Amino acid sequence: MTNTNTGSYQFEALNDAQFQTQRLQQQAQAVRSLETSILRGAGIQPTHDVLEIGSGPGFVSDLLAELAPQGSLHAVEPSPTLIAQLEGNVRQKPARGLFSHQAYGDALPLADQSIDFSYTRFVLQHVPKPQAVVQEVFRVTRPGGRFCAVDSDDGLVLFHPGEPRVDHVLHSAQSIQASQGGDRFIGRKMQEMMLQAGFTKVKTRVMMLTSSELPFPVLFNILLGYKASLLGDAVDLAKLFEDLSADVAAGRRLVAAGVFIVSGERA
Ligand SMILES: C[S@@+](CC[C@H](N)C(=O)[O-])C[C@H]1O[C@@H](n2cnc3c(N)ncnc32)[C@H](O)[C@@H]1O
């Protein structure tokens, strides 16, 4: 595998890999029922051949396998460490098989028009050429097949009252991630990217997650956990969490973050 498109999430280079795996597991479990309705709403069917790009350790793959039990699941992931964990985290293999591919999203090792439903979650923000990934998804999608992309956008992060340390973490992470080829404002761009690739019936939905709906440790990790890895020791995240959580628990501080959910169809 030639490494031409490493972006802002290279698992083997993270300084806190074990924490990041736990964070992905917590993040998948906390929103599992919500994500089930997102995936069903986006068109996943029990018999589908499903593709997941950037599957990580496989916690979301497990849900995809559950929702398409009579089909197949192709998980594409560049990290050899994460791909090795995938099999163990998908509890029930789909009837037509679970296939893991160590590959990048802009060079999918799949035949043209071989997939019914593709999903990518918190991946396009890390990829230097996201349009090329969306284009590849279009190539492998069967006519009538569907694609759903979920990603964040820092324009939809809200702390009230504000906290200067949070602003500092967000701004620093934006520039570090951009310098590595990522984009913390990808959410708003996905609709246009899907249309450009040729998808039709493209629809965007924004879902807000708030500190009164999700446990604060989960929301905090979703919002700031990966950024902590980018920033290293520059910010004491444990202290920031401690300082914010009492206020959040008492309802004195509201934290909210938006997630973009964009789906489309290949005519
Ligand atoms: C934040 S993690 C999300 C993992 C999983 N989708 C989830 O939501 O739990 C980003 C994942 O994208 C993978 N990734 C990074 N660059 C990629 C690329 N060019 N193509 C496919 N996957 C990529 C990373 O290795 C990592 O597993």
Pocket perturbation via mutation, ligand 1, pick of 9, 24, 60, 129 by most ligand atoms within 8 A of CB:
9
Residue nearest atom 11 of ligand 1, based on CA coordinates: 54
Q: pLDDT of 74-88, one tens digit each?
A: 999 999 999 999 999
Predicted local distance difference test score (pLDDT) of residue 2 = 37
Q: How far apart are CA 20 and CA 91, in angstroms?
A: 21
Sorted by sequence, the CB contacts under 8 Å of residue 60 that are 6+ apart come out as 28, 35, 52, 119, 121
Shortest-distance atom of ligand 1 to CA 129: 19
Predicted local distance difference test score (pLDDT) of residue 3 = 40
Per-residue confidence band for 11, with pLDDT thresholds at 50, 70 and 90: confident
Predicted local distance difference test score (pLDDT) of residue 101 = 98
Predicted local distance difference test score (pLDDT) of residue 222 = 86
DSSP symbol at 161: S
Residue nearest atom 19 of ligand 1, based on CA coordinates: 104
Predicted local distance difference test score (pLDDT) of residue 5 = 61
**Per-domain boundaries in the chain:** 11-153+182-209+259-265
Ligand 1 midpoint to CA 123 (Å): 5
pLDDT at 96 over 90: yes
State the average pLDDT over residues 13-36. Answer: 84
Ligand 1 midpoint to CA 163 (Å): 29
Ligand 1 midpoint to CA 83 (Å): 11
pLDDT at 187 over 90: yes
pLDDT at 258 over 60: yes
Residue nearest atom 14 of ligand 1, based on CA coordinates: 54
The residue with greater pLDDT, 152 or 233, is 152
Ligand 1 midpoint to CA 201 (Å): 26
- Given a contact cutoff of 8 angstroms between Cβ atoms, the answer to whether 265 and 199 are in contact is yes
The residue with greater pLDDT, 233 or 3, is 233
Plot region of 180 (φ>0 → left; ψ -120 to 50 → alpha; else → beta): alpha
Ligand 1 pocket, residue 59 CB under 6 Å: yes
Residue nearest atom 26 of ligand 1, based on CA coordinates: 56
- For 11-153+182-209+259-265, which CATH class? alpha beta
Residue nearest atom 22 of ligand 1, based on CA coordinates: 54
pLDDT at 12 over 90: no
Tell me what the pLDDT averaged over the chain comes to.
Answer: 93
Pocket perturbation via mutation, ligand 1, pick of 20, 123, 177 by most ligand atoms within 8 A of CB:
123
pLDDT at 4 over 70: no
Predicted local distance difference test score (pLDDT) of residue 193 = 98
Q: pLDDT of 154-186, one tens digit each?
A: 999 999 999 999 999 999 989 999 999 999 999
Burial 93-120 (b: 16+ CB within 10 A, else e): ebeeebbbbebbbbebebeeebbbbbbb
State the average pLDDT over residues 26-54. Answer: 95
